[in-house]
A and B are shown apart, each in its own frame.
Chain A
Amino acid sequence: MKNVNLRVGRVLRASTRGFTIGCAVMQPDIPAFGSFVRADGATPRSAIYGLIYDVSLEDDPFVRQFISANPPEEVVRDQRQNRQVPIEVSVLTVGCADGEHIYHCLPAQPPITLDWLYQCDEEEVRAFTARFDYFRLVLEAREAPADELLAASLRFAAAARPEEERARFLTEAGRELSRLLASDLVRLEGLLRRLRAVTEVV
């Protein structure tokens, strides 16, 4: 399950509901909004799963100086690669694992400061999204743009599956949402529209 090659960054601060990590460099696919990530849990082989819901860059007065100055490529690379301009990535906790089973619930303890956060590989994403119980945690999240986040996560989950399984997976996800949001038809309609858009993309 562990994939040490896709490290996103290290944990800066954490609670059971979510955590923030810091990284120095942004790569094309890491970190991406809605992608599944994993931090090691407190006990061996345990893990905490989350969805990236925000990526922010801290303000830096030195960089401000170059905003309108059309800096040379060497300066752009220096600022991006050498200067430790912190990129903060916020993660919503959506599940945990004890080494054998995956649970769609909050972990007993959050990850610890400086723990590594990894991007989940396709196998992990498929295993985690074999059920849809994590939807409730996302839909109830107040700190994250829940509906956008859920749609983005389903796009990653569908893309992690073979092409012929994707439409069926998204249809099942839509059915689960219809059940959860039966009393909020306006929200449900918005989410189903987003899911339809996802179906067209994947």
Chain B
Amino acid sequence: MGRELAARHHKYDSLVKLARHWLEKYADRGELLRRSAQPVRAAIPTAEPLNFHGPLPPIPPRFTVVAADGSQIQPDRHGAVLYYLINIGSLVYRHGSGEAPLACSEPLLGYAEEELYEDGLLLSGNLLDLRRDIAEVTRLADLCASEPHGPVVALVDGTLLLWVLEERSEEWQRTQVMRYLDQLGRIQESGAAVAAFASRPRRSEVSRLLHLASVDGDAQRAIRETNPLEHLPDRAIFETLPPGARSALFISPASVNQNFYQPAGQTVHFFYLNLSAEEEEPVIARVEVPAWVAEQPDQLALVHAAVVAQARITGDYPYALARADELAFISAPEREALEEMIATSMMRVGVMPTPSPKAYYKSLTRSGRRRYGR
């Protein structure tokens, strides 16, 4: 196993070297690759050279970061009652103010028939995730709208690209995405910038772009021929970014981006960012911004500076996002307390809550194992 791991490590190093060599070699081929990148799910280049390094802009003395994150309790058909809970945590952090940030936790409980079902489907799994994502961005838009004027950056964890079930109709997908994009539009109207932050990103879209460049931008060849960089995460390529610097901007090749975001003027761009300070090991994150941030140098610089300033509070992750996650998190005791409250309210009106036999026996067998004798 040791030999196998050592060989893999050696191979990984050589792939990283190859990718960085290609990044330099094909740095000015962006224009040529732009058209063929999307069909091979490769990062779509912008006007910036592929090997562009944007140094850390000056961090403004006063600016605000608004972060929101969500968690949920899925409906449990074995539970005593069918309900879901979405809990949105948010933090408004005013840099340079010396004030305590504004922390908030906002639960949304769904139990009525019309809240639990959508087109006859129980609101669970991906459908509930979708509701949570929209609730997160709505909360951000509300906070941005009520924030006094000044530089404001709204942050979400992960991605700005809504993941919608592809087996549903295009119309249904469009409706869901438009609900999300409307909220991004509200953030834009408020004058704030918005970004998504991904810690330790696993995507290989720039790796695919470099492979495409190595076959002269021929998408058919890129599909046919094995990509040696297929499983190389982009972040490995960008570990040479200077502390605080960002990579070139790219456009996400995701089909949802092309089909829905682009026509709405919200095309998602992304860059990689080294969060570390001088003489520290590189910490590479991925930051996504919509077109209206990417295309405005002041807004882009604000996002760049704000993300680094926030991440350096904890070391490698935006403080406001860590706190928003904490505020959103529903612990097991909190869930138990909620279910007790629901059961009590049912009993008050004469309804005895009963879990399914499966849930009942699970509660017995999982409450603590006992063994007698040997």
Contacts and interface: CB of A to CB of B under 8 A. Distances in A.
Interface of A: 62, 65, 69, 71-75, 77-78, 80-83
A75 B93 CA distance: 9
Contacts of A77: 98-101
A78 B313 contact: no
9 contacts: A65-B314, A65-B315, A69-B313, A77-B98, A78-B101, A78-B103, A80-B100, A82-B100, A82-B101
Nearest to A82: B103
Contacts of B313: 69, 71-72, 75
B323 interface: yes
B241 to A, nearest CB: 23
B97 interface: yes
B94 interface: yes
Interface residues of B, number: 17
Interface of B: 91, 93-95, 97-101, 103, 313-315, 319, 322-323, 326
A74 B314 contact: no
Chain A interface main SS type: helix
Given A65-B314, A65-B315, A74 B103 contact: no
A114 to B, nearest CB: 14
Given A81-B100, A82-B101, A74 B315 contact: no
Contacts of B99: 74, 77
Contacts of A69: 313, 315
**Top 9 A-B pairs, shortest CB-CB distance:** A77-B100, A82-B103, A73-B98, A81-B100, A78-B101, A78-B100, A74-B101, A82-B100, A75-B313
Contacts of A82: 100-101, 103, 323
A137 B95 CA distance: 51
Interface centre among B94, B100, B101 (most CB of A within 10 A): B100
Contacts of A74: 93-95, 97-101
B283 to A, nearest CB: 15
Contacts of A80: 100
B319 A75 contact: yes
Contacts of B315: 65, 69
Nearest to B312: A69
Given A72-B313, A78-B101, A83-B323, 10 more contacts: A65-B315, A74-B95, A74-B99, A74-B101, A77-B99, A77-B101, A78-B91, A78-B103, A82-B103, A82-B323
Contacts of B322: 62
A59 to B, nearest CB: 16
A83 B93 CA distance: 14
Nearest to B95: A74
A62 to B, nearest CB: 8
Contacts of A62: 322, 326
Nearest to A76: B100
Contacts of A81: 100
Contacts of B103: 78, 82-83
Nearest to B103: A82
A81 B101 CA distance: 9
Nearest to B93: A74
A83 B105 CA distance: 12
